[in-house]
């Protein structure tokens, strides 16, 4: 016995539009920017999105920092620096 897609979505409490949704891939321009971000990050891993944005602008591309942040998040990149609360006392 086959259950229709409509009924399956009802049982899962899922909208059918969510069932049929297919994510779009990144544009060629974004892939090119991601390669540039990767180049910069490989040389300077302590640079965050503001500095990477400034570095890209030095190279002649005028790109919004929000786009750089989104692409860095997508790539899983984050500046390497000491995080908070590293100097906590040992409770013993």
Residues 40 and 47 sit within 8 Å (Cβ to Cβ): yes
* 78 phi, psi to nearest 5 deg: -150, 140
Q: What is the mean pLDDT of the chain?
A: 92
Q: pLDDT at position 66, please?
A: 96
Span 14-63, pLDDT tens digits? 999 999 999 899 999 999 999 999 999 999 999 999 999 999 999 999 99
Q: pLDDT at position 51, please?
A: 96
Span 54-82, pLDDT tens digits? 999 999 999 999 999 999 999 999 999 87
Distance in angstroms (rounded) separating the CA atoms of residues 21 and 12: 16
Distance in angstroms (rounded) separating the CA atoms of residues 23 and 37: 23
Q: pLDDT at position 92, please?
A: 76
């Amino acid at each position: 016995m086959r259950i229709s897609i409509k009924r399956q979505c009802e049982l899962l409490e899922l909208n059918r539009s969510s069932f049929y949704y297919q994510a779009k891939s990144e544009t060629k321009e974004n892939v090119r920017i991601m390669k540039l971000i990767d180049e910069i990050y490989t040389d300077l891993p302590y640079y965050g999105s503001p500095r990477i944005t400034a570095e890209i602008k030095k190279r002649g591309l005028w790109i919004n920092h929000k786009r750089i942040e989104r692409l860095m998040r997508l790539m899983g990149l984050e500046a390497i620096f000491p995080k908070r609360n590293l100097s906590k006392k040992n409770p013993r």
